[in-house]
Amino acid sequence: MDRIKAAVIGYGNIGVCAFDALKESGDMEVAGIVVKPKYLDKLQRELPDYPVVDSIDKLSKVDVALLCIPSVLVPEEAAKILQKGINTVDSYDIHGENLVNMVKRLDSIAKEKGSVSISGAGWDPGTDSMVRAIFEIMAPKGITYTNFGPGMSMGHTVEAKKTPGVKKALSLTVPKGLGFHKRLVYVELAGDARFDAVEKAIKENPYFKKDETHVIPVEDVDRLMDNGHGVLMERKGVAGKTHNQQMEYRLKITNPAVTAQVMVCAARAAMKQKPGSYVPLEIPLIDYLPGDRWEIINRLV
């Protein structure tokens, strides 16, 4: 059976981990890496055995593209690649209506071009949404609380870095309990930037404005960096008419590694779906796994 040819779009924290995960997957291979022109020479020297290009059009054969880029760039990039008839997988992490509306827009493109898109394929909203669904299957009535952290939020860190006057940034998510969080944003200021202006801009950013946010100036952000993260999900609900069903799911992970691994498994699943746009919750779990159907069932059921 031919291996699935996957391109890595972007080579930051997630892109590097996606590259590693693909190399560890027996049924997949790296079709190439797509980066901005300014990174080409350096990466071509570092990875001489793999095609490194500045456009996916320069790769010979791509079945699926892993969009390892900031979430705000995903809608446009996914649409362009789906138009080429290439499947896409992203880890879009802006929850709620933003994700739903993007999936709806991409669905019409994917169906027209015979391609497949899977959006939000990280650990949250990706695999965490599957666990939330399992909780509701077991206890249809009740409340699920999702508590993130403590740990580095990649999406929030990217947004903080984009703030005018910020040289480097790190955004930590700290759980307060019952699904509430606060953000600790450590910033290294650029030049003569004013801290009060930077603080105001970060707190007004849609990524931060809904949560309690503390912006803290530091001399060296790199000394604080740690890609660890986690989640604690709790549900208390009702099964049938029986109350007090309590469930708990806890995760402690290295954020980009697990995000990338889920994306690689979603790339495999994308090859098994009908044309259209999906979120991970909609796809049969068995489609994410390599191997024979009956062997998987025998091992896991």
pLDDT digits (tens, 9 = 90+) for 256-272: 999 999 999 999 999 99
Q: Is 294 annotated as a binding residue?
A: no
Q: Report the C-alpha gap between 278 and 255 in whole angstroms.
A: 22
144 among the known binding-site residues?
A: no
d(CA 23, CA 7): 12
Residue 213 assigned as binding residue: no
**Upstream peptide bond of 150 is cis (omega within 30 degrees of 0):** yes
Is 27 marked within a binding site?
no
The CATH number fitting domain 141-239, selected from 1.10.1490.10, 3.30.360.10, 3.30.505.10, 3.30.1360.20: 3.30.360.10
151 labeled binding residue: no
For the segment 64-69, the average pLDDT, to the nearest whole number, is 98
For residue 1, pLDDT over 70 is answered with no
Residue 191, marked binder: no
**How many whole angstroms separate alpha carbon 113 and alpha carbon 231?**
37
* 105 is known to lie in a ligand binding site: no
Closest CA to 110 of 266, 263, 270, 268: 270
What are the percentages of helix, strand and coil residues in the chain, rounded to 5? 40, 30, 30
243 is in an annotated binding site: no
pTM of the model: 0.92
Is residue 7's pLDDT more than 80? yes
pLDDT of 94 > 90? The answer is no
What is the C-alpha to C-alpha distance for residues 98 and 113, in angstroms, rounded to an integer? 23
Please indicate if the annotation marks 92 as binding a ligand: yes
125 annotated among ligand-binding-site residues:
yes
How does residue 132 score in pLDDT terms, banded at 50, 70 and 90?
A: very high
Question: Does the annotation list 71 as a binding residue?
Answer: yes
93 is in an annotated binding site: yes
The percent of residues above 90 in pLDDT, for the chain, comes to: 95
Distances (CA, A) of 33 to 52, 53, 87, 247: 5, 6, 15, 41
Cα(228)–Cα(206) distance, rounded to whole angstroms?
Answer: 24
Quote the CA–CA distance of 159 and 102 in Å, as a whole number.
19
Instruction: Answer yes or no: is 244 a known binding residue.
Output: no
Domain ranges of the chain: 4-125+255-300, 141-239
Distance between CA 78 and CA 119 in Å, rounded?
9
**Gap between the Cα atoms of 238 and 139, Å rounded:** 5
Mean pLDDT to the nearest integer, 263-284: 98
Instruction: Say yes or no to pLDDT of 69 above 70.
Output: yes
229 is in an annotated binding site: yes
Q: Is the pLDDT of residue 64 over 80?
A: yes
- CA distance to 95, 143, 218, per residue, from 235 (Å): 19, 6, 38
Q: What does the alpha-carbon distance between residue 63 and residue 45 come to, in Å, rounded to a whole number?
A: 25
Q: Which fold does the domain 4-125+255-300 belong to in CATH?
A: Rossmann fold (3.40.50)
Q: What would the DSSP string read from start to end of 104-148? A: HHHHHHHHHHT-EEE-S-SIIIIIHHHHHHHHHHH-SEEEEEEEE
Residue 201 CA neighbour count, 13 Å, CB half? 15
Nearest to 164 by CA among 197, 128, 213: 197
**Calpha distance 257→263 (Å, rounded):** 10
> Among candidates 65, 125, 131, which has minimal Cα distance to 93?
125
